[in-house]
Chains A and B, each alone.
Chain A
Amino acid sequence: KNEVEQSPQNLTAQEGEFITINCSYSVGISALHWLQQHPGGGIVSLFMLSSGKKKHGRLIATINIQEKHSSLHITASHPRDSAVYICASGNFGNEKLTFGTGTRLTIIP
């Protein structure tokens, strides 16, 4: 059974700081998803990656398949980045996602 762990659980930083959120999983996966959930509840898919690195604006996601580890980076963080970030692994052979427990990020102006 695949287990997905995120760290840290909570992160508070000053505006402008570089942010890193980590995600580890226990078995081989088909893809790793990063999701963002703002206060108020809506969930948005940020990235889906199976190798290497992807970048979208100030957000960068990387994955190391050998180490079963992914990171989400935010450069020049802004208060509007405050949200819960959730990683989820997609498993070979089915479409089910296994979710981490989320990282609550708060950016202080």
Chain B
Amino acid sequence: DAGVIQSPRHEVTEMGQEVTLRCKPISGHDYLFWYRQTMMRGLELLIYFNNNVPIDDSGMPEDRFSAKMPNASFSTLKIQPSEPRDSAVYFCASSVYRGYEQFFGPGTRLTVL
């Protein structure tokens, strides 16, 4: 298996633009997690899905952030409109079972100018 796949790997955009980050989890994994990592706050969970259903989105910072998982092999995290403070590395991770080891994607480094 190729592991968790994220795209793009780098994204530079201007304030106010819409940003869409994509994730393909490992086949057969029932859980998908979106994390954000910054120097100031470290790793933070934004939202996670179980069998394509959002379970906990309490970490989503505000209404500008939204996430979807239309099927078992694809998820998106969208920021609209983007702001400079959204600049961070966004990781997607998946796990096969509740509370089990999580496998991380390579991350998307987002820079909002």
Binding site for B on A (CB under 8 A): 30-31, 33, 35, 41-45, 48, 86, 88, 90, 94-97, 99-102
Contact = CB atoms under 8 A, between A and B. Distances in A.
A50 to B, nearest CB: 9
Nearest to A94: B56
Binding site secondary structure of chain B: strand
B87 to A, nearest CB: 14
Contact of B101 (A30, A33, A101): A33
A43 B104 CA distance: 6
B102 A97 contact: yes
Contacts of A33: 101-102
Interface string B69-111: 0000000000000000000010101010011111110110100
Contact of A30 (B33, B56, B99, B107): B99
Given A48-B100, A95-B95, A96-B48, A42 B107 contact: yes
Contacts of A86: 42-43
Interface residues of B, number: 24
5 contacts: A41-B89, A41-B107, A43-B91, A43-B107, A86-B43
Contacts of B104: 35, 42-45
Max chain A C-beta neighbours (<10 A), residue from B31, B43, B55: B43
Contacts of A44: 104
A97 B103 contact: no
Nearest to A44: B104
Contact of A99 (B42, B89, B95): B42
B9 to A, nearest CB: 10
